[in-house]
Amino acid sequence: MVETYNAIVVLGRGAEHRSGEAIQAGAVKYLFIVVGKGDCEVMYSEAVRELGDAQNVFKDCRSESTTNNAYYAKKIAEKLRVKRILIATSSFHVKRD
> Domains in the chain, ordered, with CATH?
7-90 (3.40.50.1000)
Tell me the β-bridge partners of 10: 33, 88
Query: Whole-model pTM?
Result: 0.78
What CA–CA distance (Å, rounded) separates 26 from 92?
28
pLDDT tens digits along 66-97 = 888 889 999 999 999 998 988 877 666 566 55
